[in-house]
Structure 1
């Protein structure tokens, strides 16, 4: 009987000692992250022509550091020499929630299959009378940022001297901004204020295709410095 109890105690103790692991995850939905990555990945013209009306299928390997940033992204069997472009594309995206073991952040790796439709990339170029224009603020980005800083409630500042955020939203056909989210922020307590200011701003010029307004996604980096 004593031996049975001892064995039971060892089994229970071993179970409790097992590390609790939470895998790394994207701040925005993973499919949106991969879509943004595919959109931001620049494909050289000679490769686009070679794979016209087709797609490029690659396997990417991301190393997620303890602070959630991606270190030295790789492409498995990079025969097209796109790794340098992949690095630039990843730098534009929000950080990850790092993997944790018993609440402690650790380095981890993630592999994804990325399919890039070349036909879509080629059609974004102004060829054969087809013109695509991205959405933009009516006063230009410089004017938008200037007005944004004026409308941001400075009394809500924390101890941070500089607020850095990444906002995503949809620019509708009428230029209104919807589905506004802050996907990355060094001051999450100010996220609501950041969204409030974007909601209060004037409508944008919507994206157009062949002169017709279309809905489009937009990613906007925001930096606000505390005034002395």
Structure 2
């Protein structure tokens, strides 16, 4: 009996010692893993850098592309920069806290007769762009499955000094004004443009406005006469409507009443968004059906 108790006591002591040894070994291994930077599968997944396949991509200042505007607005051309405009490719990781890491700045690659070549970025320009990126406000990080994740972004930007930027804006404004003057002088009326004119709020808003403002001719309404009047008009460059004409009238009777109401309705419309062609506002003849039913 006594020998049996001693065996059990020795077994328990040995078990405790073995457990302590195992715990110490595990602690040592964990310390080694941490020193070597070895991560568990969960940690590795948690630190993954995404480039796609997320629920929401990171965004700066709440608007897509605003990071480019921010960089251009804050760029101060270094005195030794060889060119007024520099094409730069930027890459960085938006961390979970919205800050940037792993920032890369390199020259823009372009195709030449010798193949793809990269024009290097001068150190002073690279330093200036780095200054902007490291001091810019935090981003809204990417999310996946309801959790914030790390995300790598790459984009191209042309940086320039304030003077060059201001001159470029002036040149564009002058060119636009010149095209507008030429459009007015020529009196040309388009029926096909890059961007056609539109009623404020779009087609749905136009239909709603017509329904709310149309006055059905009383006699036609009493007799249940329906009709469709196609009215054409010119949307001027200021959005006003001119040269209002009836192009077609399908009403079997009361044609004059339907046409008069259709023209009155168009004259009462608010100004439209004018048409644009190659970025310039132009005159446009627009067909608008007015339905009576």
Taking structure 1 as the reference length, the TM-score comes to 0.39
Higher strand share: 1
Higher helix share: 2
Higher relative CO (Cα under 8 Å, sequence separation at least 6) belongs to: 1
Structure showing greater Rg? 2
